[in-house]
Amino acid sequence: MWMVFGLSAGALLGLYDFWTKKAMDGNGVIPIVFWSSLFGAFAWIPAFLPVSDAFGFHVDLSQTNVHQQILILIKGLAMTLSWVFAYYSVRELPMSFSGAVRASGPLWTLVGGALIFGEYLSALQLSAVLLSILAYYALSQIGKKEGIRILRSWPVLMMLAATVLSAMTTVYDKFIVQNLGLPIYSIQAYSAIHRCALAMLFFVVMSWKRGGFMPLRWSVYVPLVGLSWVGAELIYFFAIADPVANVTYLSIFRRTSLVVGFLLSVLLIGEKNVLPKGAIILLIVASTAALILDR
């Protein structure tokens, strides 16, 4: 089931990527980070109310101590910084290319999983991971035809920073889920509140520096960004809560978000170089299938 949860989270993240691209149209990065985080936090407010106890997801404020809150706050800080970097990149780059820059994600997660959890892969499994990474790299080479130069592009470097932070968070998520002894929904709820508070701090500081509140061009995609992330993260946590879940596999499964985002970009935004990009994405799907079949 943890594989099913991982793939489901990846599909929902594909919608999240597309909605982020749409929400960034005409907006700055910090306002979108703040407002989407606010809607994500609102989604968890019912969990703190007594009525939620009847549905089995009540968050008891007395269940956590300062040490646990600090560990959850670290996760929130890493995620918020990752969003700041990633949203800027998504705004400036084609969806297929910004997704391709995340190719190093499984590699960073592989290193973290091996060092912390001893998750070593077989030859076939490692080949599948490397195939996926090479496919993303080839996709990035196609992006050069669209005027993007990796070493000279700030959006690319920011996506790389976001990717490293995301990979670190993937490993850290498994650590806190299996060591804090808290229900999944409690960690998620507190993390959403922390992220909202951190995003608000960034928003207030940046607004103060510019001499007025940063404007927002409203669209339905703004709340969809926050709500889809909350949903995908909750599904993902159900996956990593399984003691046998492999964080390297889950990192690959989350990359299926590129497939969903790419298809939506082709249909609704007008993605260029569709055929070569589509062929490479099929290789990514094949490598993901190989990981599942060899499990």
Amino acid identity of residue 180, one-letter, is L
Q: Would you say 194 and 76 are in contact if contact means Cβ atoms under 8 Å apart?
A: yes
Over residues 108-121, the mean pLDDT reads 65
Residue 195 confidence (pLDDT): 95
Given a cut of 70, is residue 124 above it in pLDDT? yes
Domain regions of the chain by residue span? 2-293
Predicted confidence (pLDDT) at residue 150 exceeds the cutoff of 60: no
290 Cβ partners below 8 Å, 6+ apart?
124, 125, 127, 128, 131
Q: How far apart are CA 74 and CA 31, in angstroms?
A: 22
Average pLDDT (27-33) is: 93
Q: Residue 161: which residues within 8 A CB-CB, separation 6 or more?
A: 82, 85
The CA–CA distances, whole Å, from 12 to 120, 217, 254 equal 28, 24, 9
- Within 10 angstroms of residue 226's Cβ, the number of other Cβ atoms is 28
CA distance 86 to 80: 10
Q: What is the pLDDT of residues 5-28, one digit of tens each?
A: 888 888 898 898 889 989 998 899
* CB distance 171 to 113 below 8 Å: yes
- Quote the mean pLDDT of the chain: 81
Distance between CA atoms of residues 246 and 249, nearest Å: 5
pLDDT bin (cut points 50, 70, 90) of residue 65 is confident
